[in-house]
A and B are shown apart, each in its own frame.
Chain A
Amino acid sequence: MISLRKIIVKSANGKILVREASMELEPKKVIGVYGPNGSGKTSFLKAIAWKNQNLNISGESWIDGNPIFLSSTSASIKAKKILYLGSDFQSAFQVSVRELMELAKNANPDSIESIAEIIERFDISSLINRIFDEMSDGEKQRVMIARGVLQSPKWLILDETFSKIDLDHSFHLVSSLRESIKKGMGIIIASHDLNLLSELSDELWFIKDGKITTSGTVEQVLTSENLNELYPNRMVHVVRSPDNGKKKVIY
């Protein structure tokens, strides 16, 4: 369980990025986060994980009774509780995917996952011996998501980490991540692909101007009225997938 108390995020020069937010998040769930550029998604997610580089975060973030917001909480405890992954990954050094996996495993020795199992579940056996920085952006994202699950924090935050992954691998990842949910992980995922979010999420948030404007199940939130509120000048239609009846967006 994540408890957020009076979270406010400001940029280094004082601009308010997230207005006061307090909430409790249940684990074993995927929460999808959607909003226009500059709406405060990334600031919100960074505040939950308390990544305060270049950000002024005030308030409190607790995970299972651990105060993530205190600077005295050691990095090694935080890494077992919550992991924030962005979309851009680079290494200035010669280091292989397998070594990345070993580092992730070391970061959480209590992890229930094994490297071999993760390689299989995430279908990355062809990438495992590659040098990380020589892979494509999409391959790096796939590997990093696998690494996140291997580390098995209580909460995994994927901030646009799907942005360069192809359709086929995205669907494969969705089902792989579903298995991690069953094992007790909570996932928060921000994306600009509403159809992917609808496929993956139990709960959906719309964020605008640093505030959650709408939240609830995908069924409740994903309506053309709510989308119209986000984008007043654009006509967006919500339809149902003929395959599984989930809501999809066309425009």
Chain B
Amino acid sequence: MSKYKTILVLLIAVLLELFLRLDFKNASLILMELRVPRLILAFSIGSALALSGSVMQTVLNNPLAEPYTLGIASGAALGAAVFNSFGFHIGLFGLNAGAVIGAVLVLILILRVIMKNDLRFDSVILLGVMISMFCSSLLAIWMALADPHGVQTITFWLLGDLSRVGLKTAIALFVVSISFFAYFQMFSKKLDGFLFGEAMVEGFGVSKKDTQKIAVILVSILVGFCVSAAGMIGFVGLMVPHLVRKKMGTSIHSKILPYVFVWGGIALVLSDAVAHAVSYPLELPVGAITALIGAPVFIYLFIYRKFSRGSET
């Protein structure tokens, strides 16, 4: 996976997102008001989700982990929806603090259960999926009862939509995403300590608990912001880190994280270009596109994965 190829694909994705099915009569208006914010938002959220997935997979030592499969995203969506309908608008540039609280709560719950019961890979994901369904159902009920237009908004939360926020929020999210990337890049030596299983972490001079705590809190904040801006978008966090590791033949974080970041952005920009171009002027939900590609990848990984614990083989 070379630098030039990455830049080339990024350029193609940007051009597609900006100009596909563009109405050239009002081009400059549409570009500035709609397409550019959307491009920035799609890139920021894609890169943030891929980064989150990569970090979660590492610190939980589980190649199937990501914000969506662990239920963090649906916790965030529920938190954001509840905050919104109460009229709390705590947060920055339209990013919602309720989403962060929801994400943190779900992650703490999962970590507690994992640590107490020493769960296996499959069980952790099963637990995450159940939490996800539970939160999504609560969200659906909440929206139906609390908001007269609630039923339409449910689709936004559950399948994602990149058209709802303006340029300011998009740029804010881009700044957030790139700062978290910079931090995780500095943090990458600690993450590397997790590559040979949980029992070996301390042997590399890395504190397992501290590293997990920091990673989990940061990922919750990041995912919370993403979900509050664009709803739940699944599988980017699963597919991208996996493909990057596979292509590069390494998992050393200082090497893969820059590519995970950029390819995460590319993946969502391309998915969004497809979502708004295929049945123009109707829009497909972008989360449906990512799931359409991501779910088969998940199934593939589930069948052909290699497990790291002896009891799994």
Binding site for B on A (CB under 8 A): 51, 53-54, 74-80, 83-86, 88-96, 99-100, 102-104, 106-108, 131-133
Contact = CB atoms under 8 A, between A and B. Distances in A.
Interface string B287-313: 000000000000000000111111000
A218 B205 CA distance: 34
B195 A90 contact: no
A165 to B, nearest CB: 18
A93 B205 contact: no
A103 B250 contact: no
B63 interface: yes
B137 interface: no
Contacts, number: 87
B252 interface: yes
A20 to B, nearest CB: 25
Nearest to A75: B207
B197 interface: yes
B280 interface: no
A94 B251 contact: yes
Given A89-B196, A91-B197, A133-B306, A103 B204 contact: yes
Contacts of A96: 249-250
A41 to B, nearest CB: 17
Contact of A90 (B58, B63, B192, B197): B197
A89 B197 CA distance: 8
Interface of B: 57-58, 61-63, 118, 189, 192-193, 195-208, 245-246, 249-252, 305-310
29 contacts: A51-B199, A53-B198, A75-B201, A75-B207, A76-B205, A78-B202, A79-B202, A79-B203, A79-B204, A84-B203, A85-B203, A88-B310, A89-B197, A90-B197, A90-B309, A90-B310, A91-B195, A92-B62, A93-B195, A93-B245, A94-B245, A94-B250, A95-B251, A96-B249, A96-B250, A99-B250, A103-B192, A106-B205, A107-B204
A78 B208 CA distance: 13
A51 B202 CA distance: 9
A76 B63 CA distance: 26
Nearest to B61: A92
**CB-CB nearest 3 A-B residue pairs:** A79-B205, A92-B308, A93-B251
Contacts of B198: 53
Contacts of A90: 196-197, 307-310
Contacts of A93: 57-58, 63, 195, 245, 251
The A interface is mostly helix, strand or loop, or mixed, namely mixed
A92 B199 contact: no
Nearest to A104: B204
Contacts of A78: 202, 205
B189 A106 contact: yes
B18 to A, nearest CB: 35
B128 to A, nearest CB: 17
A91 B306 CA distance: 9
A240 B53 CA distance: 59
B205 A92 contact: no
Given A51-B202, A78-B205, A92-B63, A103 B195 contact: yes
Given A90-B309, A91-B196, 6 more contacts: A75-B207, A92-B197, A94-B246, A96-B249, A99-B250, A106-B189
Contacts of B199: 51, 53, 86
A106 B252 CA distance: 13
B205 A95 contact: no
A95 B252 contact: yes
Nearest to B308: A92
Given A92-B63, A93-B63, A103-B192, A75 B252 contact: no
A22 B58 CA distance: 38
A85 B204 CA distance: 11
B201 to A, nearest CB: 8
